[in-house]
Amino acid sequence: MGRLQGKTALVTGGTSGIGLETAKLFVAEGAKVAVTGLDPERLETTRAELGPEALVFGADVSDRQAMETVAARIRETWGHLDVVFANAGVFRAAPIERMDEATMDLLLGTNFKGVVHTVQATLPLLAPGASVIFTSSAVDSKGYAGMSLYAATKAAVRSLARSLSAELVDRGIRVNVVAPGAIETPIWGRTGLPQEVVDGMAAGIKDTNPMKRFGKPSEIARTVLFLASDDSSYILGQNLYVDGGTQAL
């Protein structure tokens, strides 16, 4: 029997990278899974990968009404949710003097407000014993040049999880955070930076990583599965770094 047998789960940003790997693992472990994404082509390929029982929504997490619509569809179909993985996020890097208003709005709207919208929309569907997981980042507590606004949004998510843990524990809902280090995902192709700059950043990250490599989406997915399952039933309000030892060593 799978570790999520009979459970229902929502994965935002579930059509690529960490989100897609997690959604596929959830399905393999017995869950019924709903995912959100934005790219029409990836939405279609995700439907094929997850199978006919999956719910696949084109929805922008920065839009509160869009997430309310997703929640309403899930209620109509399944009635409740056992797991919410608020994973949708964007990465943009630039020196602070080049951080324009549009980029700030994108980072804050997706990485922070998107998490809040996801929680607000799905909270009425969460049964006692539900698990809520946020995606933060290993940069949430460490300074990296050029990542100030991105890191700030991820630190905000970390802080939000602490407060929500205190707020929701009496309702039997656990909130935890997974904080990946550098992971091999398509997000590196959407930084807004020239390729040579991205390549330089990647090389620097590998050099300073104790394991000398990027992580794989599947490694984060297995961590999220642990936090989603009853195996982590006594874990609450934690920020679990999955970063090859960068924070610790």
Inter-CA distances, 212 with 37, 188, 200, 223, Å: 31, 18, 15, 20
Is 144 one of the annotated active-site residues of the chain?
no
Q: Give me the residues paired with residue 8 across strands.
A: 32
Instruction: Please tell me which residue in 7, 113, 154, 241 is annotated as part of the active site.
Output: 154
230's CB contacts (< 8 A; 6+ apart) are 3, 129
Is 154 one of the annotated active-site residues of the chain?
yes
DSSP track, 9-49: EEETTTTSHHHHHHHHHHHHTT-EEEEEES-HHHHHHHHHH
- DSSP letter assigned to residue 183: B
Instruction: Please tell me which residue in 150, 206, 234, 241 is annotated as part of the active site.
Output: 150
DSSP track, 73-126: HHHHHTS-EEEEEE---------GGG--HHHHHHHIIIIIIHHHHHHHHHGGGE
In the chain, the N- to C-terminal Cα span, in Å, equals 37
What tokens appear for 110 in the block? Answer: 């997706």
What are the residue numbers of the active site? Answer: 150, 154
